[in-house]
């Protein structure tokens, strides 16, 4: 793991070969595995391994965000943003994002129906376009790597992406429409 990788609490830390470092701030050992106890980046101070806290920051233009869909209308989807540029927001400090119908895809914008792209509870990866109004940020999913990354089917099972606009229920095999982030291997 490089020093640039952000760790979450409980995540294991891969140690370099050689003598074991002393454990400093934000690091603990459990069952022989060294783990992070803070959100942050690992670094070495001499022979001591520690975690530097990663300070959360509000979304800015071009930030990559993760959020869950909280409300849909025919012209937009509202997101509760919980991760900004890979860093979770502190409890109680969530941001609101708006995905407008014209920001869902780069092509065929006039044929988009929000209900065919997102559903309540879907986890979406998006990019901040701009600050919206006083309470929200405008988000786009108009790139291949942006869109729904996790969703639950109507049967309550996990949906697996099968194309950029369809997901399959792992329980029933039924197909549901979504604007998927580029699926692995497709």
DSSP state of 38: S
pLDDT digit string, tens, across residues 73-83: 999 999 999 98
Answer yes or no: pTM beyond 0.85: no
The chain-wide mean pLDDT, for the chain, equals 86
CA dihedral 124, 126, 129, 75 (to 10 degrees): -30
Instruction: List the beta strands (DSSP E) in 101-169.
Output: 123-131, 136-140, 147-150, 159-161, 166-169
Least confident of 56-60, 71-75, 125-129, 145-149: 56-60
Per-residue CA distances from 96 to 35, 67, 115, 119, 132 (Å): 32, 9, 19, 16, 10
57, exposed or middle or buried, with CB in 10 Å at 0-12, 13-18, 19+? exposed
d(CA 159, CA 102): 25
Are 94 and 81 a contacting pair, CB within 8 Å?
A: yes
pLDDT given for residue 110 in this prediction? 79
Domains and CATH numbers, the chain: 1-54 (2.40.50.100), 64-177 (2.40.50.140)
Nearest to 127 by CA among 169, 165, 79: 79
pLDDT digit string, tens, across residues 88-142: 887 777 799 999 999 998 888 778 899 999 999 999 999 999 987 777 899 999 9
Q: Looking at the predicted structure, is the pLDDT value of residue 1 above 70?
A: no
């Amino acid at each position: 793991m490089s020093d640039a990788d952000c760790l979450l609490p409980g995540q294991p830390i891969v140690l370099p070969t050689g003598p074991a470092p002393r454990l400093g701030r934000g690091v603990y050992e459990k069952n022989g595995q060294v783990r992070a106890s803070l959100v942050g980046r690992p670094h070495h101070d001499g022979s001591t391994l520690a975690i530097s806290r990663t300070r959360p920051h509000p979304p800015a233009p071009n930030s990559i965000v993760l959020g869950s869909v909280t409300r849909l209308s025919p012209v937009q989807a509202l997101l509760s943003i919980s991760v900004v540029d890979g860093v979770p927001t502190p409890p109680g400090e969530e941001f609101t994002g708006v995905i407008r119908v014209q920001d869902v895809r780069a092509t065929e914008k006039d044929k988009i129906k929000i209900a065919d792209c997102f559903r309540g509870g879907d986890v979406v990866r998006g990019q901040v376009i701009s600050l919206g109004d006083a309470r929200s940020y405008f988000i786009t999913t108009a790139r291949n790597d942006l869109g729904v990354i996790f969703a639950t089917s109507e049967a309550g099972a996990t949906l697996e992406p099968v194309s950029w606009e369809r997901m399959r229920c792992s329980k029933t095999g039924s197909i549901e429409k979504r604007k998927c982030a580029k699926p692995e291997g497709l």
